[in-house]
Amino acid sequence: MGIVIIGNSASAVGAVEAIRKVDRSLSITIISDEPHSVYSRPLISYLLSGELRPQQIFYRSKNFYEKNRVRSLLGRCAIHVDFKKKAVQLDNDERISYDRLLIATGGKPFLPKIEGLHTPGVYTFTKLEDANRILSILKEVQKAVVIGGGLIGLKAAEALNKRKVEVTVLELADRILSLTMDSTASSILEKALRKEGVHLITSNTVEAILGNGRVESVRLADGKVLNGQLVIVAIGVSPNVEIFKGTPLKVEKGIVVNERMETNIPDVFAAGDVVETYDKILKCYRTIPIWPNAYLQGKVAGYQMSGEEKYRYDGGFMMNSIQVAHIPTISVGLTNPPSEDGFQVMKKFDRGSGIYRKIILKDDLIVGAILAGQIDRAGIMTGLLRDMVNVKGFKKELLNDQFGFVSLPKSLRKERLLNIK
Amino acid sequence: MKRIFVKEEVCIGCRLCEIHCVVEHSKSKNIIKAFKDENPRILPRIFVEEKGKVSFGLQCRHCEEPYCLEACMSGALYKDEKTGAVLHNREQCVGCWMCVMVCPYGVIRRDLNEKKIASKCDLCLGKEIPVCVARCPNEALEYREV
């Protein structure tokens, strides 16, 4: 009995750490189909590239479960939840009863309908196992094809490139990172990636994966054939809600939750990449599968499950920090506003240094930003956006590379610096 | 928990806080050696902002509920259980800059000298008074309870 968490990543840890802040005695059980103690999925690209020592993959210390008095059922798969009887069915016939349940099952890679998708040598790239499997065959790989020019695909491509594998990235849109970047930022990164030796093909995709018992090549939509011994599929993730099909759990784009992270079922909470939440900028409900939101939602769920009711999650927004080809970039909020609707776009691009700065405003509030090449102090901008601070009085300063608290009116500066979050 | 607050009205922008921060976090803790011999020279963890006659030093606020800690996907940032200080495990950091993206004070900086690892204030790790506060000639920095 007590609290049961399905999942073992950012949201689960956020929940455990919140619960233990207020209650040392509540029983907590973590169920995870992966056999590993809690590790950071976004770091697998650093493992693949060789930048990370294997023990650095762990997100919390080895004694995390012990220290927090968590019973961990690792390598055990939850296959069904009986919401009426309040029990989680495991793959080995065991049933784990709960008083309160947190669903933190995350996302799973989206698989396109491509001929030959199940040919050996084709991988997705979200879990530690994926990185380890790819590492184990790396010696046999001279060329690789990455399907998808989003964050995961580019990080995988860059890692392979560092391992001296000749990589081609295929992106269906006309530019990489089309969901989070604008065309200027995309082209800065495209240029840098190409300079590092990564091949990029846009407005095109893989139609078939070819090979006799092993991947040998891929055929593109335009008929062109690329050779390769490895294919990584990275075209996005979707909420991992498979085991809840046919149950009363309400799922739209993701599991539907309220500000307490409660689902439509009493005593059942959900957090992280599996839920849909309010997007404060786009003003709609959607999945925003990013690490900070997952941790924060888990934390709110943890507090709520242990009876600490003052914590709420009233929504979030998209933000990403991506460094590829030695160029740091940060994108926050709405980065490609529609041309109508009264958005004000301010931008500055220095071709020499490659430094790009773009701020999107609406009604004198920051609703989005892109920084590339120079990202120091980007968080000040994120903070002004998050807290919906009116920037009318110092709008022009936002484009200044030296933008800081000194650029703010004294009263606002004092207010923000003296009130610690 | 005690935190460092700035009184910009008496800060003259002399940057002694930055200098003493570098010395305190240097290998030798010797001002001459820290600046002349240690290579690469480390970044200060307090930064003086200046514009015209306005200046003030700013470093990590050691938030109660730190955004950086929520965003840190490597687990490098953590809260010291005893002091409440937000600390940084350099070994664990991969330089993903999630902390740079979310810190509303903009006080976590990229340390490009040391393999992309962020540098941030550690409140001089348990020193009774952090050196920036102790060495400020104008008492423009104050170490007090919130």
Query: Which chain A residues have a beta carbon less than 8 Å from that of B115?
Result: none
Closest residue, chain A, to B64 (C-alpha): A421
Instruction: Examine the domain organization and report whether B8 and B50 are in the same domain.
Output: yes
What is the distance between the alpha carbons of residues A323 and A303, in angstroms, rounded to a whole number? Answer: 34
Instruction: Examine the domain organization and report whether B36 and B47 are in the same domain.
Output: yes
* Domain assignment of residue B80, given as a range: 63-120
- Average confidence (pLDDT) over A398-414: 93
Nearest partner of A296 among A42, A108, A38, A15, judged by Cα: A15
Instruction: Examine the domain organization and report whether B45 and B74 are in the same domain.
Output: no
Instruction: Examine the domain organization and report whether B71 and B38 are in the same domain.
Output: no
Chain A window 182-211: which residues touch B at a Cβ cutoff of 8 Å?
none
Answer whether A420 sits within 8 Å of B62, measured CB to CB: yes
Query: Which chain A residues have a beta carbon less than 8 Å from that of B3?
Result: 420
pLDDT more than 90, % of chain B: 79
Asked if the model's pLDDT at residue B116 lies above 70, the reply is no
pLDDT more than 70, % of chain A: 100
A·B CB contacts under 8 A: 124
Amino acid at A199: H
Q: What is the pLDDT of residues B118-134, one digit of tens each?
A: 778 999 987 899 999 99
Number of domains in chain B: 2
Q: What is the pTM of this model?
A: 0.95
**B38 Cα to chain A: minimum distance (Å):** 24
Instruction: Examine the domain organization and report whether B71 and B26 are in the same domain.
Output: no
Instruction: Examine the domain organization and report whether B2 and B28 are in the same domain.
Output: yes
Sorted by sequence, the CB contacts under 8 Å of residue A55 that are 6+ apart come out as none
Q: Which domain CATH number covers B74?
A: 3.30.70.20
Domains along chain A with CATH numbers: 3-43+59-108+239-305 (3.50.50.60), 122-233 (3.50.50.60), 326-418 (3.30.390.30)
Q: What is the pLDDT of residue B133?
A: 97
Q: What is the three-class DSSP state of A263?
A: coil
CA of residue A3 relative to chain centroid, distance: 25
Confidence of residue A417 (pLDDT cuts 50, 70, 90): confident
Q: What is the pLDDT of residues A181-224, one digit of tens each?
A: 999 999 999 999 999 999 999 999 999 999 999 999 999 999 99
- Any B CB within 8 A of A63 CB: no
Q: Are B76 and B66 in contact (CB under 8 A)?
A: no
Q: Are A88 and A96 in contact (CB under 8 A)?
A: yes
Instruction: Examine the domain organization and report whether B126 and B112 are in the same domain.
Output: no
Asked if the model's pLDDT at residue B36 lies above 80, the reply is yes
Instruction: Examine the domain organization and report whether B90 and B143 are in the same domain.
Output: no
Direct distance between the N- and C-terminal alpha carbons of chain B, in angstroms, rounded to an integer: 7
Helices (H), A224-359: 291-305
Q: Are A38 and A58 in contact (CB under 8 A)?
A: yes
Q: What is the pLDDT of residue A217?
A: 97
**B45 Cα to chain A: minimum distance (Å):** 13
Which pair of tokens denotes residue A230? 């490895």
What are the two backbone dihedrals, phi and then psi, of residue A208, each rounded to the nearest 5 degrees?
-150, 145
Identify the residue among B55, B96, B101 best suited for mutation to test binding to A, counting A beta carbons within 10 A and taking the highest: B101
- Any B CB within 8 A of A162 CB: no
- Average confidence (pLDDT) over A81-89: 97
Amino acid at B97: W
Q: Are A394 and A408 in contact (CB under 8 A)?
A: yes
Q: What is the three-class DSSP state of A70?
A: strand
DSSP for A207-263?
EEEE-SSS--EEEETTS-EEE-SEEEE-S-EEE--GGGTTSS--BSSSEE--TT-B-
Sorted by sequence, the CB contacts under 8 Å of residue A296 that are 6+ apart come out as A14, A313, A316, B70
| Token pair 């509303």 in the structure block, residue | B104
**A293 Cα to chain B: minimum distance (Å):** 8
CA A365-A368-A369 angle, to 5 degrees, is: 120
**Is the torsion defined by CA of A117, A120, A123, A127 positive or negative?**
positive
